[in-house]
Amino acid sequence: MSEFQMPEFQFIETNGIRLRCVVEGQGPLVILVHGWPESWYSWRHQIAPLVAAGYRVCVPDVRGYGGSDKPEPIESYDMVSMTGDIAGLIDALEAEDAILVGHDWGAPIIYVASILHREKIRAVCGMSIPYTGRPPVPAIRIFKKAFAGKFFYMIYFQEEGVAEAEFEADLPRALSTIYRRGSVDAPRDGVFQAKASSVAFLDGTSPPETLPCWLGEADLAYYVSQFEQSGMRGPINRYRNFERDWKALPQLADEKITQPSSFISGACDPTLTMFGSADTLAVMKTLTTDFRGERMIEGIGHWVQQEAPEETNEALLGFLDSL
């Protein structure tokens, strides 16, 4: 798998569940939190450089993924539970605090953890998804209004079992399509483009003829094997908690991230312009009190730490050196 040596795993009890983690190195604790639809493996290019730089690195499969526990209820994937998992890892690893790094859904998880578990979080670095705080109404309501009559994947995910059945029927096609569409050279059709709300996620798309350059056949096969193990229910359940999270966390409307923070993204990440021209990074800067800069990597899409590992590592280590 891209000349990557498979690590040993630890199973760590946290917050009432067990997470499969890679834990390597000595020094200040850094926890790397992946997004959807990914795995600990998304951070394969960051582990060794962080260890070499003098950090202890913990890379979990988020609950519902890979080798970690997979609770059935939708509410098991609310933000209180997800952030509690991260806080519990810090305790289980007997660390005083940790630096959190999160990509995609991992970014909101670490942002909210920095507020709910402030005393345990030393600093945060988000990737691809800036922090935008608590919206005036649950985000899913905003999506339904913005995409009325049109397909939007987060709306499609709301009905239990539908997206799971579609993806699990052909995991190689589903995953390769998602990874390809988030890359910088994505075709201008398909899952992130306008189509009727009545269609399925993969309708109107063709199986990618080639994989993006950052993803080898063996890499894709490993991701497929992880979702064959876990299924898609847990990962998609995260998208079914917008209403629950909004009601449970009113404090997010007023509190800011006070720890040192930074942001790294591909400059061509389609998620940055998914909702038009809104400058979400500018919003993040108003919601943090110690923002130490951003790195926008030119010619790179959504999967930034895999598409541009050297540039990502340089930016991340630069942020860590500032602490």
The residues annotated as belonging to the active site are: 104, 302
> Distance (Å, rounded) from C-alpha 12 to C-alpha 88?
9
Radius of gyration of the chain, Cα coordinates, nearest whole angstrom: 18
CB of 240 closer than 8 Å to CB of 81: no
What six digits make up the tokens of 1? 């798998």
**Phi-psi map region of 65: left, alpha, beta (phi>0 left; psi -120 to 50 alpha):** beta
Provide, for the chain, the percentages of residues in helix, strand and coil under a 3-state DSSP scheme, each rounded to the nearest 5: 40, 15, 40
Alpha-carbon distance of 171 to 162, in angstroms, equals 14
Residue 160, φ and ψ in degrees, nearest 5: -55, 135
Output the DSSP codes for 161-188. Answer: THHHHHHHTTHHHHHHHHHHHHSTT--S
Nearest to 183 by CA among 126, 106, 266, 105: 266
Element containing residue 106 per DSSP (H, E): helix 106-116
- Please list the residues that pair with 18 across neighbouring strands: 13
- The pair phi, psi for residue 29, each rounded to 5°, is -80, 130
Beta carbons within 10 angstroms of residue 116's beta carbon = 19
| CA pair distance 189, 192, nearest whole angstrom | 7
Q: How many CB atoms lie within 10 A of CB 276?
A: 6
Question: Which residue has 């922090």 as its token pair?
Answer: 131
